[in-house]
């Protein structure tokens, strides 16, 4: 049984799809990190970079976006008679849509190929193609695409969603004309706005609910926010069971999801058979390592290795979805000597990622036995969304050891050898003091004799190995 739990009464909004008491989908929206995906703006071209085939667009409120010129509809038309957008020039005003959220290091990704949609079709005024969901039966897909080719204008693009299976031609034409009228109204509104400015700002949280509803079959929606519950009841009362959660305890805590949420922030995820996977997210790619815990892999039988790798493959697919890991992903499974076993793991991964909303490509195993895959990145990962780099280690996960700090102190003190000082006062953490002093303080005493002044420590508490030379006494 699948349930959709919606926690929207507090400032941070959360949503989880639960199947057999396990989280299968997770969406978190914080006020200062609200996604702008699919929002539409009238922007101004600030800079054109021919060498990068790109333009940088000001979309307002200090936000900038990156537009790849070769993907602009103005550069894609095959016939000069087809209505197309003008080419990009400095200081131009243009309608753009966000297709990828910004990150700490990258601007918003923009497109001029605007998409407007309802629950059955996606309309692109300058899309130039027709497509249908691969989840639809082949005969339905062919019929829908034929209707689109017969009805659309040459520059237009149309995509049929999974829910279009029972769509009639008359209903399709009605929906298409409604979306055409919506785009015409959008263009008219853009002509009256002072750029840069937003034209369409979506309620991404509600859009995410609709996306999950469109792609999943679930029996019940449980919501803890009265306003959102009324909206859902108005739109979906006859589609599935709707329940308003009135409890004082947080809805996620009530359904005992806190431990699962905590696991999503950990590097190590344990499997049912005692093995584990280790997930390391980096800027360039994500590395996932499958470990056999205490048993060396060379001592394990083939069946045990395959059982662990299958468990790992299923959990990896789930963790990648929940953590919203995008970009290049490298997976180091337990070594499989038989090519048949590798193909089985690849097939299992394809089946598990078929449930994913984002496009994934599995390239296969390298000569070193590492599986390569990629997943489309449209939003920041969960780790980037809910955490910040550690102020102590600056995101590396490491700090200098007490030994390293003690050796640095020793080098600094040697610079004062034979100076006119009787003692030096140093504040330091306990671990640095102990390492510097040596066993039974032999190293401290020998150094004092060599440097010809006393070394006195004042112990302090600090979040990492530390010292500070307070003063020299003559």
Q: Is the dihedral of CA 447, 451, 456, 458 positive or negative?
A: negative
Domain 402-473 has CATH 3.30.300: yes
127 alpha-carbon distance from chain centroid: 27
Helix (H, G, I), strand (E, B) or coil at 138: helix
**pLDDT at residue 86, rounded to an integer:** 64
> Which residue's structure tokens are 């994913």?
356
Structure tokens at 267: 């590097």
For 224, other C-beta atoms within 10 Å of its C-beta total 22
Q: How many residues appear in the chain?
A: 474
State the pLDDT at residue 326.
93
Per the model's pLDDT, the better-predicted residue between 92 and 468 turns out to be 468
State yes or no: pLDDT of 193 exceeds 50. Answer: yes
The pLDDT confidence band at residue 35, using thresholds 50, 70 and 90, is confident
83: pLDDT confidence band, cut at 50, 70 and 90? very low
What value does the mean pLDDT take over residues 63-73?
Answer: 81
pLDDT at residue 81 greater than cutoff 50? no
What is the average per-residue pLDDT within 277-303?
81
Terminal CA-to-CA distance of the chain, rounded, Å? 79
- 262: Cβ contacts below 8 Å, ≥ 6 apart: none
CA 460 to chain centre: 40
Residue 104 has pLDDT above 80, yes or no: no
Where are the domains positioned within the chain? 2-34+203-259, 40-200, 264-386, 402-473
Kindly report the CA angle at 175 between 157 and 164, in degrees rounded to 5?
Answer: 80
Residue in 169, 34, 176, 59 with CA at minimum distance from that of residue 116: 176
Mean per-residue pLDDT of the chain? 89
- Cβ contact 434:405 at 8 Å: no
> Mean per-residue pLDDT for 351-370?
92
Which residue has 């149309």 as its token pair? 158
Q: How far apart are CA 137 and CA 358, in angstroms?
A: 21
pLDDT tens digits along 405-441: 999 999 999 999 988 889 999 999 999 999 999 999 9
Write down the pLDDT at residue 82: 45
Task: Look at residue 297 in the predicted model and tell me its pLDDT.
Answer: 53
Please give the backbone phi and psi of residue 404, each rounded to the nearest 5 degrees, phi first.
Answer: -60, -45
Q: In what order do the strands lie in the sheet with 220-223?
A: 22-29, 13-19, 2-7, 220-223, 241-244
Q: Which of 372, 382, 373, 379 is CA-nearest to residue 357?
A: 379
Mean pLDDT over 355-367 rounds to 92
Q: Residue 75 — very low, low, confident or very high, per pLDDT cuts 50/70/90?
A: low
The 10s digit of each residue's pLDDT in 168-187 is 999 999 999 999 999 999 99
For the domain spanning 2-34+203-259, the CATH number is 3.30.420
Angle (CA) 262-266-269 rounded to 5° is 100
Residues 113-138: what's their mean pLDDT? 91
């Amino acid at each position: 049984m699948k349930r959709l739990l919606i926690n929207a009464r507090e400032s941070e909004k959360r949503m989880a799809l639960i199947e057999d008491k396990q989280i299968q989908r997770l969406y978190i929206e914080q006020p200062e990190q609200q996604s702008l995906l699919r929002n539409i703006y009238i922007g101004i071209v600030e800079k054109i970079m021919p060498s990068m085939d790109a333009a940088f667009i000001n979309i307002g409120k200090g936000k900038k976006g990156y537009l790849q010129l070769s993907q602009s509809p103005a550069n894609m038309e095959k016939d000069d008679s087809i209505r197309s957008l003008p080419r990009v020039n400095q200081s131009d005003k243009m309608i753009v849509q966000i297709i990828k959220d910004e990150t700490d290091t990258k601007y918003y990704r923009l497109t001029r190929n605007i998409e407007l949609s309802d629950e059955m079709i996606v309309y692109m005024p300058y899309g130039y193609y027709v497509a249908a969901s691969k989840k639809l039966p082949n005969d339905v897909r062919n019929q829908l695409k034929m209707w689109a080719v017969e009805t659309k204008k040459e520059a237009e693009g149309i995509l049929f969603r999974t829910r279009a299976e029972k769509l009639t031609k008359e209903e399709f034409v009605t929906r298409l004309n409604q979306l055409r009228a919506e785009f015409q109204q959008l263009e008219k509104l853009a002509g009256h706005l002072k750029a840069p400015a937003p034209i369409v700002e979506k309620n991404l949280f509600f859009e995410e609910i609709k996306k999950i509803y469109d792609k999943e079959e679930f029996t019940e929606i449980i919501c803890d926010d009265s306003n959102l519950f009324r909206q859902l009841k108005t739109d979906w009362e006859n589609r599935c069971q709707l329940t308003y959660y009135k409890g004082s305890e947080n809805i996620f805590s009530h359904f005992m999801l806190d431990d699962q949420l905590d696991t999503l922030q950990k590097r190590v995820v344990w499997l049912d058979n005692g093995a584990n996977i280790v997930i390391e997210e980096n800027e360039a790619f994500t590395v996932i390592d499958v470990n056999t815990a205490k048993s060396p892999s060379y001592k394990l039988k083939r069946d045990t290795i395959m059982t662990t790798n299958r468990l790992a493959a299923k959990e990896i697919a789930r963790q990648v979805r929940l953590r919203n890991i995008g970009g290049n992903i490298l997976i180091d499974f337990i070594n499989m000597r038989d090519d048949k076993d590798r193909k089985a793991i690849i097939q299992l991964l394809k089946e598990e990622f078929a449930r994913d909303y984002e496009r994934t490509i599995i390239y296969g195993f390298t000569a070193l036995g590492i599986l390569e895959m990629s997943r489309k990145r449209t939003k920041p990962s969960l780790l980037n969304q809910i955490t910040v780099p550690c102020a102590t280690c600056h995101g590396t996960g490491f700090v200098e050891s007490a030994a390293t700090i003690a050796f640095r102190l020793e080098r600094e003190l040697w610079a004062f050898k034979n100076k006119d000082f009787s003692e030096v006062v140093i504040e330091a953490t306990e671990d640095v003091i102990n390492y510097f002093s040596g066993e039974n303080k032999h190293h401290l005493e020998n150094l004092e004799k060599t440097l010809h002044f006393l070394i006195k420590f004042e112990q302090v508490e600090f979040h990492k190995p530390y010292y500070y030379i307070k003063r020299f006494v003559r």
